[in-house]
Chain A
Amino acid sequence: MTGDGMATSPGMAVAARPARTLWLGVLFAALAMLCAASVAIGTRDVALADILAALNGHRDSIGQAAVTARIPRTVLAMLAGAALGLAGATLQGVTRNPLADPGLLGINMGAMLAVVIGVAWFNMASPYAYIWTAIFGAGAAAVFVYSISSRGRGKPTPLKLALAGAATSVAFASLVIAIVLPRNDIAGGIRAWQIGTVGGATFDRIVHVLPFLAVGLVISLLSARKLNSLALGDELAAGLGEHVAMARATTALGSVILCGATTAVCGPIGFLGLGVPHLCRLLVGVDHRWLLPVSALTGACLLIAADIVGRIIARPAELGVGVITAFVGAPVFIWIVRRQRIREL
């Protein structure tokens, strides 16, 4: 993937510059529109006057209260989408693997398992404990999956890594079920969170997670240059003066923080980080300095859109956003797998 991309990118870079700025503008406009739609559209139909009143802080009717609840939810969807899109793009860059995704590589499930263990066995309750535990779980899962797939002959191929990640995800998921199921006291809260949702967001929770997301965002965005070097291959990157192992580790740390923090609030949302970078590569090319921010923006747009869809299609109930991203994202995964050249296990 990187070979072809690099061969064409110098030519493209010159031609594509106006197009890139254009796409950036389009994405910002789309984000603004989707945010507005997310506040206006929901399980309950609310009149325009009520929506405007709610935005001004009134909470007099059920409709106004519903709209008020949609605001933090929209903000959380935007943050989580941006984090996952960005994490997907950096993970694909670090592993040089078009199949990398926080969900598929087991990172989100690792975070989830860690939090569930903390809640069920150690009575963990403070929001910061949640987030730290989730980040720890995400990191442990990332290291575990990477080390499984790099055992044996050769480097970890994209397919080996994806298989190890998927298997780890399945394994963690059944452990999570086994831990949660008998605990009626915590099952209710965790069940909704199990499939990935941004419902039930409050500004309190967003404030807790915001510093972590900010740190992850900064680390990830700052690693764009390193990712560009890594894309040339380890030898060439080292030749350019990059400390390859160090660059990999810091960049991976950035995405682990993003994934862990997001999972701590929203639960494991899969497949979003897989498709977004591929889409963005079509829009702005392979230069990570553009790819990373655009991936974050696109991820935010798509997750808000998925959340809106989840509120509409299952009326009067709601569908967790993770269900929608899996349903839409899995075909993207299949499409990418089909394009891979296969060496048998």
Chain B
Amino acid sequence: MTTLSPILAVIAGNRTRRARRHGLVIALLLCLLVGMFALTLVLGQTFTPPGDIVRTIMGDDVRGVAFTVGQLRLPRAVLAVLAGLSFGLGGVAFQIMLRNPLASPDIIGISIGASAAAVFAIVVLSLKGAIVSVFAVVAGLGVALLVYMLSFRNGVAGMRLILIGIGVSAMLESFIVYSLSRAPSWTLQEAMRWLTGSINGAQLGPSIPLLLSLVVFGGLMLSRSRDLEALRLGDDTAAALGVRVGRTRVLIIIAAVGMIASATAISGPIAFVAFLSGPIAARIVGNSGSLLIPAALVGAALVLVGDYFGQFLLPSRYPVGVVTGVLGAPYLIFLIMRAERSGGSL
């Protein structure tokens, strides 16, 4: 015992230090996000004094500010944060569970499946509101099941799953183009939303189901956070540690797809946010703790900043999905080059 205790003390010390570092990183990310949120409210085409914004949000009718902030900037920023949190959290859950950064929902077809269902519900069935989200969630789960079953052959190999997901994505994309061509009048704006994601024309009303789904599915996901960490070590190790692997996996898939699909039903599949958040968070956090919350915060920051860039900082206006798409594309290629060499992990 006496010889062990110094070692135990070192281990305990390391653990405390890691936990403290993890908490610090999350706090910093949160501060950063809040700061950016506030900045996007203050700075747009014109500068709005922070005092006026606070008064508008409290319910005062400040001349001129009520519209720009209350109707334009605030709904947009809220939707950006909610969608970003959903994509980040859902994406990193898939990446951890399948132990492959390429296995994110926007590459294996789940986001685009939800998008196809949303287009079908809106254009062909003329539905509106929360029922569209239900459609998207059901379709997302359906696509997840389909891709899983198609790639099952003596177990699921990551690479087969990814390639089959890419094939399914191609089909669903052509279905979206077909559905849009049936619409009485379809614009490029509309097509961009459902193919690469956009938060143009955001309103506060549609964000409410998204908030609900984030609370329900996000809560479910975070409650499984420990089991998910164990799954990272491999199914057998996780089972030996007392995790019920099958059940955990089903719950995590439902939670992740639920979040991704609810967000997609409103903003479209914002390109690569789910794919990028996890690896970026992993770089920031290191191995000091769970990636779930940092990845969600990174996702929100990506959408918020991407949208701000697309609106104001580039020579012309882009929907946020195009900005994140251009950001994510080189990283995707880099990841494949690296994976060839070393066998990819987050």
Contacts and interface: CB of A to CB of B under 8 A. Distances in A.
Given A327-B174, A337-B164, A181 B315 contact: no
Interface in A288-345: 313-314, 317-320, 322-324, 326-327, 329-331, 333-334, 337-338, 340, 342, 344-345
Contacts, number: 134
B171 A327 contact: yes
Interface stretch (A78-86, A155-163, A248-256): A155-163
Contact of A337 (B167, B329, B341): B167
A322 B173 CA distance: 11
Given A174-B322, A323-B178, A342-B157, A163 B329 contact: no
B333 A171 contact: yes
B55 interface: no
Contact of B343 (A162, A195, A344): A344
B157 A344 contact: yes
Interface residues of A, number: 49
B31 interface: no
A214 interface: no
Contact of A151 (B323, B337, B343): B337
B159 interface: yes
Given A151-B337, A159-B163, A344-B343, A175 B178 contact: no
A30 B330 CA distance: 44
B320 to A, nearest CB: 12
B330 A171 contact: yes
Contacts of B316: 181-182
Interface of A (DSSP majority class): helix
A178 B167 contact: no
B139 to A, nearest CB: 17
Contact of B175 (A170, A327, A331): A327
B157 A167 contact: no
A178 B181 contact: no
Contact of B170 (A152, A171, A317, A326): A326
B96 to A, nearest CB: 17
B307 to A, nearest CB: 15
B182 A314 contact: yes
A191 interface: yes
Contacts of B322: 174, 177-178, 181
A329 B167 CA distance: 9
A13 interface: no
A148 B341 CA distance: 10
A206 interface: no
A338 B171 contact: no
Contact of B163 (A152, A153, A166, A168): A166
A152 B343 CA distance: 10
A338 B160 contact: yes
Contacts of B167: 330-331, 333-334, 337
A16 interface: no
A148 to B, nearest CB: 5
Contact of A314 (B181, B329, B340): B181
A153 B157 CA distance: 19
A308 to B, nearest CB: 16
B81 to A, nearest CB: 23
B340 A167 contact: no
A182 B316 CA distance: 6
Interface string B14-36: 00000000000000000000000
A309 to B, nearest CB: 11
A153 B328 CA distance: 26
Contacts of A166: 163, 166
A342 B159 contact: yes
Contacts of B326: 174-175, 178
Contacts of A338: 150-151, 153, 160, 164
A162 B343 CA distance: 17
A159 B162 CA distance: 10
A344 B340 contact: no
A163 B332 CA distance: 11
B198 to A, nearest CB: 11
B13 interface: no
Contacts of B158: 344-345
B336 A167 contact: yes
B192 interface: yes
Interface string B113-152: 0000000000000000000000000000000000000110
Interface of A: 148-149, 151-153, 159-160, 162-164, 166-168, 170-172, 174-175, 177-178, 181-182, 187, 191, 195, 270-271, 313-314, 317-320, 322-324, 326-327, 329-331, 333-334, 337-338, 340, 342, 344-345
Given A175-B326, A338-B150, 8 more contacts: A153-B341, A163-B162, A187-B188, A327-B175, A342-B160, A345-B100, A345-B340, A345-B344
Interface of B: 100, 102, 150-151, 153, 157-160, 162-164, 166-168, 170-171, 173-175, 177-178, 181-182, 188, 192, 196, 271, 315-318, 322-323, 325-326, 328-330, 332-333, 336-337, 339-344
